Amino acid sequence: MTDIKRLTLGFAAFALVATQGLGAATATGSLSATVTVSATAKLTLSSATVTFPSADPDLSPSIAAAEGPVTITAKGKTSTGASISLTLLAGNDLLSGSGSIPISNVTWTASGAGFAAGTMSKTAAQTVASWTNSGNRTGTQTFALANSWIYAAGSYTTTAQYTLTAP
Amino acid sequence: MHLMTLPRLHRAVLALAACALGLVFAPEAAAQPTLRLTITPATITFAPADPDTTPSIAAPSVTVSYRVRSNATGSWRISLLASGDLTAGTATIPITNVTWTASPTPPFQAGTLSGTLAQTLASGSGNVQNTTTGTVVFRLANSWTYNVGSYSTAVVFTLTAP
């Protein structure tokens, strides 16, 4: 009787293993997916012109730009850990014929993550905003001109260039 | 009397075992599904694009060819599992930013890639005697937040029955 039990148990175990081994079939295929992200920069300004209206220096020692804040949207893609920067460089002082107003008399305040206040320069690009890694930032820049009785009458103009760099 | 019975019992058990083996193995062997799965092409590339104008980048379509035989009463399923996020060195793009649409529906269905859980691409039941094809278009959600790099990952298609 002992032999019969061994034989029966052996059969039961073998049947279980065999059933599991034959239960499913699979076939596989593979696909490789790639994407290349290149350095890119994109800059949008809400206004291309800033105007400082005439004002009494005693009453308005600082003249705010008539257009109000300039809204800046800066977007860039860069390498991991690298910095993206937005700078502003004036082409010259404010000029009116032979008269001039130093461009350093123009300052700005800023709002928005990554944006900073500053003073305009015609010799060294000034940082308007900066951040690390790819991404987009939106902020404002509000310009003001230091008013003075020493400015000769005239219609002064200059240009300034924004540069967004995503290395 | 006992000496004569024991061999008979052995023979009886052996006969029973042989019969049972036949019952267990013969239908299973006959029902073992025969599957075929082919993916073309083997590589897809998401072309660089401005996220503002192209918020979703479509890759060239992928053709899935499959056949299911000896599966008259069973179900079948084609699933997708990514090996992980899209990576370029230490930079990553979450694999969940890759979705797909597929046709015909059914048996194909749309979905989102995962690196941890196989996602169903197509499913059905019974046999698919002739090689049948479906088309899958993968799309990458574009973003300004992706850092510069050449990213890649692998996606495994698995056809299972039942």
Bigger pLDDT: B60 vs B31: B60
Tell me, yes or no, whether A166 lies in a domain: no
Contact A29 B149 (CB under 8 A): no
Q: Tell me: pLDDT of B140 over 50.
A: yes
- How crowded is the C-beta side of B20, counted as CA atoms within 13 Å? 16
The confidence score (pLDDT) of residue A24 equals 81
Residue B116 has pLDDT above 80, yes or no: yes
In what helix (H) or strand (E) does residue B154 lie, and over which residues does it extend? Answer: strand B149-161
* pLDDT score recorded for residue B162: 79
Q: How far apart are CA A84 and CA B103, in angstroms?
A: 42
Could you tell me the end-to-end alpha-carbon distance of chain A, in angstroms, rounded to an integer? 85
Is A103 contained in some domain? yes
A29 in any annotated domain: no
Q: Please list every residue in chain B whose beta carbon sits closer than 8 Å to the beta carbon of residue A80.
A: 89-91, 147-149
Q: Which run of H or E residues covers position B10?
A: helix B2-31
Does the residue A137 lie in any domain?
Answer: yes
Contacts of B48 in chain A (CB under 8 A): 35-38
Give the mean pLDDT of chain B: 86
Query: Can you give the pLDDT of all 167 residues of chain A as single tens digits?
Result: 333 334 333 333 332 322 333 568 999 999 999 999 999 999 999 999 999 999 999 999 999 999 999 999 999 999 999 999 999 999 999 999 999 999 999 999 999 999 999 999 999 999 999 999 999 999 999 999 999 999 999 999 999 999 999 98
Are residues B50 and A37, on separate chains, in Cβ contact within 8 Å? no
Determine, for residues B145 and A133 on separate chains, whether the beta-carbon distance falls below 8 Å.
yes
A6 domain-assigned: no
Q: How many domains does chain A have?
A: 1
Any domain includes A164: no
Say if residue B109's pLDDT is above 80.
yes
Q: Locate the chain A residue with the closest alpha carbon to B45.
A: A34
Query: Across residues B104-123, what is the average pLDDT?
Result: 97
Residue A5 domain-assigned? no
- Taking an 8 Å cut-off on Cβ atoms, the answer to whether A77 and B144 are in contact is yes
Does some domain include residue A3? no
- Quote ipTM for the complex: 0.78
- The answer to whether B42 contacts A31, with C-beta atoms less than 8 Å apart, is yes
The residues of A whose Cβ lies within 8 A of any Cβ of B are 1, 3-4, 7-8, 11, 15, 18-19, 22-40, 42, 75-80, 82, 133-136
How many beta-carbon contacts under 8 Å exist across A and B? 164
Q: How far is B33 from chain A (nearest CA, A)?
A: 6
Which one of B13, B38, B161 has the shortest CB-CB distance to A29? Answer: B38
Residues of A in contact with B38 (CB under 8 A): 29
Higher pLDDT, residue B12 or A39: A39
> What tokens were used for A30?
């593979």
Measured in degrees and rounded to the nearest 5, phi and psi for residue B82 equal -80, 150
Task: Give the residue numbers spanning the domain of A66.
Answer: 44-151
CB–CB contact A38 B48 (8 Å): yes
The SS3 assignment for A9 reads: helix
Q: Chain B residues with CB inside 8 Å of A132's CB?
A: none
| Predicted local distance difference test score (pLDDT) of residue A23 | 62
Q: Is the pLDDT of residue B79 over 50?
A: yes
